């Protein structure tokens, strides 16, 4: 059975919470929420303190989520201004470029000044409280600056990952009707330039709403600026005032929209608000990473994903941390890059994704072992289940059997960490997300919604609201309710499967819906399908996940071509390129399986269960196929599997 790593004695002695501390805080968070959240929200500077704790219901009749709703505050002032007196000259961001020779250090005072100038520039370009600003930037300090500048003036940011295609970017700009886009001339990844500004130009051919583009000069590539629409940030910065009072925001005013994939339809604009989200990001960053002033913290996620929002920008900055921000990739210039950065900046806390660990693990221990890493004291994992082999490698090779690993389960929808071991409180089981964060009440249910007790396995729901919960789907409140609260009435359904063992540890087993997790990136199978069927030669497509050694899951696409189109490697390549163009490189199909027909029920539903089994090459037990309209289809698919 699985190994258990006990809490190291020095951790139990000095961490913010030990085992008894966890139990007591968890109890209070549930039984005395008013007192508990009074203390936790005191981490923030409120302009007007809240008196109303929460008014949240997951039931249709009075559905709604609100926390601290009569309080007011400003997120940027919490991340910057209040640190100036004590920590103005402390480094906030240690930036390292894709090219190891490129480095920048930015203090809290400098970051504050940049944000104020940026905020004034956004205002000059027409941004107002409540309006949306789309941010399409590489991992450079200006990404944090742009986000905080929006927060300062009450504009709602929508960050789009730099790896998304012009089409995907256009869809996200249109959905929230952004008038301003912030981008850079380009980004650098593994020595290659990503043409961000050119992508924006292409996207804007479809979006009439945008009337200003602010361009950060980063790679120095030549770009075209549209007269009257496009502006260089460095030119604006030179004339912008560094004085920008922070807008007083209600706790329930929107802070940001972040698009994420679900089982159906287009990506959803997940909306987070101000007071609850910031409390949740600050509290979890504090307890989970046990961050101490003076330490160096590094979360390797991109700001284009929720992990970058909560654990690169808001969590660490609200807590006054010094952090590394890295533009590049783990294997460039070589496979030691992560650990070279750890040594260069003497990183104490490192938070990364299993997919990167698996890729590095494959290259051999030497790349790690030739670096020192003695500064590390805590490691974290996020984005997908971490398999025990990768966990043990992380523990043994990267952490030298000295650093606890916090395996943090959460979602774009949950704002920040929901389940994780706390390093001073919980013995670690490799692959277990362990225990709920304060205020989180997990519940496992079976397919019919019956509650499962004790050691068991089922679908993971959360029964009560927590401050960092998303508030709505941008522009479609009904979709918010339908997506998350109707599968199991009165409960938030996560879409994840989960096991609870005899010691009460929770183990996330992966998605039980039509969402796949490719290298820690969420992808709706429906999105890839609709990209494929948009191709002129494709009649029908069905996409499922397949096990993949490095990426966790790969994309397996069954494609039926139009009558008269001959299957060929050329079409295969064409389709792969097409999907990359429609969505972005992260959606690149790993397998295109030409299928003369797809297995369907008599009512015309595609039987995905069977397609998944064939993709997994597990065809010995396909289960009940009696409802298929034509069972012969399955034999053909098995016979033609590559």
Binding site listing for CoA: 189-192, 307, 331, 519, 580
Pick between residue 245 and residue 585 the one whose CB is nearest to ligand 6R9.
585
Question: Residue 354: CB partners within 8 Å, gap ≥ 6?
Answer: 381, 383, 384, 385, 386, 387, 390, 520, 552
In the complex, the smallest distance separating the C-beta of residue 93 from ligand 6R9, rounded to whole angstroms, is 21
User: How many CB atoms within 10 Å of residue 460?
Assistant: 26
- Phi, psi angles (nearest 5°) of residue 236: -65, -40
Q: Which stretch binds ligand 6R9 (CB under 6 A): 20-28, 49-57, 340-348, 410-418?
A: 410-418
Among positions 162, 276, 316, 385, the unique one binding ligand 6R9 when judged by CB under 6 A:
385
Q: Which stretch binds ligand 6R9 (CB under 6 A): 85-93, 193-201, 207-215, 492-500?
A: 492-500
Give the E-state strand segments of 262-398 in sequence order: 268-273, 296-299, 322-326, 349-352, 378-382
Compute CA 294 distance to the chain's CA centroid, rounded to the nearest angstrom: 26
In the complex, the smallest distance separating the C-beta of residue 406 from ligand 6R9, rounded to whole angstroms, is 9
In the complex, the smallest distance separating the C-beta of residue 280 from ligand 6R9, rounded to whole angstroms, is 13
Bridge pairing between strands 492-500 and 506-511: antiparallel
At 422, list the tokens: 């706390």
In the complex, the smallest distance separating the C-beta of residue 279 from ligand 6R9, rounded to whole angstroms, is 18
Strand partners, 522: 517
Q: Which stretch binds ligand 6R9 (CB under 6 A): 17-25, 26-34, 379-387, 479-487?
A: 379-387
In the complex, the smallest distance separating the C-beta of residue 309 from ligand 6R9, rounded to whole angstroms, is 10
Instruction: Tell me if 458 contacts ligand 6R9 by CB under 6 A.
Output: no
Q: How far apart are the first and last CA of the chain?
A: 35
Nearest to 79 by CA among 29, 5, 163, 147: 147
Instruction: Tell me if 495 contacts ligand 6R9 by CB under 6 A.
Output: yes
Pick between residue 380 and residue 599 the one whose CB is nearest to ligand 6R9.
380
Scan residues 278-337 and list those touching ligand 6R9 (CB under 6 A).
Answer: 305-307
In the complex, the smallest distance separating the C-beta of residue 614 from ligand 6R9, rounded to whole angstroms, is 23
Compute CA 637 distance to the chain's CA centroid, rounded to the nearest angstrom: 35
Whether 146 and 118 have beta carbons less than 8 Å apart is answered as yes
In the complex, the smallest distance separating the C-beta of residue 381 from ligand 6R9, rounded to whole angstroms, is 6
The Cα 16–Cα 25 span in angstroms is: 11
In the complex, the smallest distance separating the C-beta of residue 307 from ligand 6R9, rounded to whole angstroms, is 5
For helices 108-124 and 141-153, angle between their N-to-C axes, nearest 10 degrees:
60
Question: Which letter does DSSP use for residue 384 in this model?
Answer: S
Known binding residues are 189-192, 307, 331, 383-385, 407-412, 496, 511, 519, 522, 533, 535, 538, 580
Nearest to 436 by CA among 17, 23, 58, 12: 23
Scan residues 246-275 and list those touching ligand 6R9 (CB under 6 A).
Answer: 260
Question: Residue 230: CB partners within 8 Å, gap ≥ 6?
Answer: 212, 213, 215
Q: Which stretch binds ligand 6R9 (CB under 6 A): 12-20, 316-324, 504-512, 614-622?
A: 504-512
- DSSP for 422-491, please give it: -TTT--B-TT--BSBPTT--EEEE-TT--EE-SSEEEEEEE-S--TT---EETT-HHHHHHHHHTTTTTS
Instruction: Tell me if 237 contacts ligand 6R9 by CB under 6 A.
Output: no
Pick between residue 161 and residue 338 the one whose CB is nearest to ligand 6R9.
161
Q: Which stretch binds ligand 6R9 (CB under 6 A): 200-208, 228-236, 381-389, 594-602?
A: 381-389
In the complex, the smallest distance separating the C-beta of residue 433 from ligand 6R9, rounded to whole angstroms, is 5
Burial class (CB in 10 A: 0-12, 13-18, 19+), 494: buried
Q: Which stretch binds ligand 6R9 (CB under 6 A): 16-24, 184-192, 375-383, 531-539?
A: 375-383
The Cα 612–Cα 591 span in angstroms is: 13
At 354, list the tokens: 């299993």
In the complex, the smallest distance separating the C-beta of residue 422 from ligand 6R9, rounded to whole angstroms, is 14
Whether 196 and 221 have beta carbons less than 8 Å apart is answered as no
Among positions 253, 407, 529, 582, the unique one binding ligand 6R9 when judged by CB under 6 A:
407
Burial class (CB in 10 A: 0-12, 13-18, 19+), 70: middle
Whether 130 and 246 have beta carbons less than 8 Å apart is answered as no
In the complex, the smallest distance separating the C-beta of residue 417 from ligand 6R9, rounded to whole angstroms, is 8
Q: Which stretch binds ligand 6R9 (CB under 6 A): 180-188, 484-492, 494-502, 539-547?
A: 494-502
In the complex, the smallest distance separating the C-beta of residue 473 from ligand 6R9, rounded to whole angstroms, is 14
Q: Which stretch binds ligand 6R9 (CB under 6 A): 278-286, 407-415, 422-430, 587-595?
A: 407-415
Among positions 11, 291, 339, 409, the unique one binding ligand 6R9 when judged by CB under 6 A:
409
Among positions 408, 483, 487, 519, the unique one binding ligand 6R9 when judged by CB under 6 A:
408
Known binding residues for Mg(2+) are 533, 535, 538
Using alpha carbons only, give the angle 223, 208, 588 rounded to the nearest 5 degrees.
65
In the complex, the smallest distance separating the C-beta of residue 600 from ligand 6R9, rounded to whole angstroms, is 28
Instruction: Tell me if 506 contacts ligand 6R9 by CB under 6 A.
Output: no
Scan residues 432-451 and list those touching ligand 6R9 (CB under 6 A).
Answer: 433
Question: Residue 561: CB partners within 8 Å, gap ≥ 6?
Answer: 537, 538, 539, 567, 571, 594
Strand partners, 232: 215
Among positions 162, 171, 187, 383, the unique one binding ligand 6R9 when judged by CB under 6 A:
383
Among positions 157, 237, 335, 511, the unique one binding ligand 6R9 when judged by CB under 6 A:
511
Pick between residue 506 and residue 558 the one whose CB is nearest to ligand 6R9.
506
Q: How many residues in the shown chain lie near ligand 6R9 by CB under 6 A?
A: 24
- DSSP for 122-161, please give it: HHHTT--TT-EEEEE--SSHHHHHHHHHHHHHTPEEEE--
Instruction: Tell me if 551 contacts ligand 6R9 by CB under 6 A.
Output: no
Pick between residue 375 and residue 509 the one whose CB is nearest to ligand 6R9.
509
Known binding residues for ATP are 383-385, 407-412, 496, 511, 522
The Cα 145–Cα 111 span in angstroms is: 7
Positions that interact with ligand 6R9 (CB under 6 A): 260, 305-307, 381-385, 407-412, 433, 494-496, 508, 510-511, 517, 522
């Amino acid at each position: 059975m699985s190994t258990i790593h006990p809490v190291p004695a020095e951790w139990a002695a000095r961490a913010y919470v030990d085992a008894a501390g966890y139990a007591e805080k968890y109890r209070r968070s549930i039984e005395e929420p008013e007192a508990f959240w009074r203390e936790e929200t005191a981490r923030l500077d409120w302009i007007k303190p809240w008196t109303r704790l929460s008014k949240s219901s997951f039931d249709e009749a009075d559905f709604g989520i609100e926390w601290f709703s009569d309080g007011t505050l400003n997120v940027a002032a919490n991340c910057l201004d209040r640190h100036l007196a004590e920590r103005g000259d402390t480094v906030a961001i240690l930036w390292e470029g894709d090219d190891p020779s490129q480095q920048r250090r930015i203090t809290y005072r400098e970051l504050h000044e940049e944000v104020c100038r940026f905020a004034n520039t956004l205002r000059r370009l027409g941004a107002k409280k409540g309006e949306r600003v789309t941010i399409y930037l590489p991992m450079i300090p200006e990404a944090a600056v742009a986000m905080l500048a929006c927060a300062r003036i009450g504009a709602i940011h929508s960050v789009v990952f730099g790896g998304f295609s012009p089409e995907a970017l256009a869809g996200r700009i249109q959905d929230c009707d952004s008038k301003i886009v912030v981008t850079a001339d380009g980004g650098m990844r593994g020595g290659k330039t990503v043409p961000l500004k050119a992508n924006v130009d292409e996207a804007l051919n479809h979006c009439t709403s945008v009337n200003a583009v602010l361009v950060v000069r980063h790679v120095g590539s030549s770009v075209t600026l549209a007269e009257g629409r496009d502006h260089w940030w460095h030119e604006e910065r030179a004339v912008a005032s560094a004085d920008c009072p922070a807008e007083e925001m209600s706790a329930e005013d929107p802070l940001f929209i972040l698009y994420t994939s679900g089982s159906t339809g287009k990506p959803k604009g997940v909306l987070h608000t101000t007071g609850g989200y910031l409390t949740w990001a600050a509290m979890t960053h504090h307890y989970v990473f046990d961050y101490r002033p003076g330490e160096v913290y590094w979360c390797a996620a991109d700001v284009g994903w929720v992990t970058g929002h909560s654990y690169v920008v808001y969590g660490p900055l609200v807590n006054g941390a010094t952090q590394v921000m890295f533009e590049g990739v783990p294997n460039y210039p070589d496979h030691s890059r992560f650990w070279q950065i750890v040594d260069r900046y003497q990183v104490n806390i490192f938070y990364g994704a299993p997919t990167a660990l698996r890729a590095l693990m494959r290259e051999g221990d030497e790349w790690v072992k030739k670096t020192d890493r003695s500064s590390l004291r805590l490691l974290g994992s996020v984005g997908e289940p971490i398999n025990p082999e990768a966990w043990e490698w992380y523990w043994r090779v990267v952490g030298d059997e000295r650093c606890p690993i916090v395996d943090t389960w959460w979602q774009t929808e949950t704002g920040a960490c929901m389940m994780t071991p706390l390093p001073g409180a919980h013995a670690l089981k490799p692959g277990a997300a362990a225990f709920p964060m304060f205020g989180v009440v997990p519940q496992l249910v079976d397919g019919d919604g019956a509650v499962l007790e004790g050691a068991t396995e089922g679908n993971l729901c959360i029964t009560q609201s927590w401050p960092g919960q998303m508030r709505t789907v941008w522009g479609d409140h009904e979709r918010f309710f339908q997506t998350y609260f109707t599968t199991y009435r009165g409960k938030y359904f996560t879409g994840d499967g989960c096991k609870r063992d005899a010691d009460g540890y929770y183990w996330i087993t992966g998605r039980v819906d039509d969402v796949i997790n490719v290298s820690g990136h969420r992808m709706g199978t429906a999105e890839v399908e609709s990209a494929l069927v948009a191709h002129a030669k494709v009649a029908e497509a069905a996409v499922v996940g397949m096990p993949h050694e490095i990426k966790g899951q790969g994309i397996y696409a069954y494609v039926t071509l139009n009558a008269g189109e001959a299957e060929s490697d050329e079409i295969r390549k064409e389709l792969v390129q097409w999907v990359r163009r429609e969505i972005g490189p992260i959606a690149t199909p790993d397998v295109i399986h030409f299928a003369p027909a797809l297995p369907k029920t008599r009512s015309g539903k595609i039987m995905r269960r069977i397609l998944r089994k064939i993709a997994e090459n597990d065809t010995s037990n396909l289960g009940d196929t009696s409802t298929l309209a034509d069972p012969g289809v399955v034999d053909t698919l098995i016979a033609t599997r590559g």
